[in-house]
Amino acid sequence: MTTTITQTHPFDDAVDLAPRPDGGVDGRTTAAYANMVGPFGGITAATLLRAVLDHPDRLGDPVSLTVNYAGPIADGPFVVSARPARTNRSTQHWTIELAQDGGVATTATAVFGVRRPTWSSTERVRPAAPAAEDVTATPFPDFIAWGKNYEMRFVEGGFPGPEAGESDDSTTTLWVRDTPSRPLDFPALAALCDVFYPRVFLRRGQFAPAGTVSLTVYFHAGAEDLTTQADEAVLATARAQRFGAGYFDQSAEIWGRDGVLLATSHQLVYFKA
């Protein structure tokens, strides 16, 4: 007799949620997606999105998600509550909250919608880059646990080494995908929008205390785009606009097969340097 054991992908394990009698859901942090302080912000965003995707009242697919990291998330269990604040004919607005030990650690809002055929155009141009297989994979440093869950092939702006020195440009572009490979879905796409190390590391050429304060993801991809993408690498690029007074902003783009813009994101990051 042969017994087949099916293992859950680390990403799916990290965003797994269990229903509660009060309508919320139970989740917990996982060591695989730990960051230097608390969990990787992208996995938190993916978990909050998962809570809405699994909700019985959900309408359509995600259009936007804004996550505000109000406080640190400790290792262990947490509770997520998600409720539709308003449902219209084609859009639905959600409020989401993650709490631990009776205190709020993260708040979020999301817009879901029913997509329909319209005229379309993409003004942004995908960054020039060699094929993913022609770029050497370079992992994050070992102490960044969540980085081990991604295959990263840096085209420009790789993680700065100890002798890197300052840079005049904050742009990083890389091919990236989950490892082990996993078909792209909306939670994974949300997480990929936060896969970049802080831009201040690149500009200063050294580590500095930094953490995302607020992250907004705009989903341009529909379900068909994600099916087409499957488990292939996406081309991800990010840059900052201004650093100062303890904060900087970051804009990012996630490009899929055939030059399709899958998502864009903007975030505000706190730093000391």
Q: Report how far residue 27's alpha carbon sits from residue 47's, in angstroms, rounded to the nearest whole number.
A: 8
Q: Give 159-214 pLDDT, tens digit per residue.
A: 998 888 999 999 999 999 999 999 999 999 999 999 999 999 999 999 999 999 99
User: How many residues in the chain?
Assistant: 273
3 pLDDT more than 60: no
- Decide if 221 contacts 176 (C-beta within 8 A): no
Q: What is the pLDDT of residue 36?
A: 87
5 pLDDT more than 60: no
Q: Give 68-116 pLDDT, tens digit per residue.
A: 999 999 999 999 999 999 999 999 999 999 999 999 999 999 999 999 9
Q: What is the pLDDT of residue 94?
A: 98
Q: Classify each residue of 179-196 as buried b or exposed e, where b means 16 or more C-beta atoms within 10 Å of its C-beta.
A: beebebbbbbbbbbbbbb
- Predicted TM-score (pTM) of this structure: 0.96
Share of the chain above pLDDT 90, in %: 93
Structural domains of the chain, with CATH? 10-114+132-271 (2.40.160.210)
Q: What is the pLDDT of residue 12?
A: 98
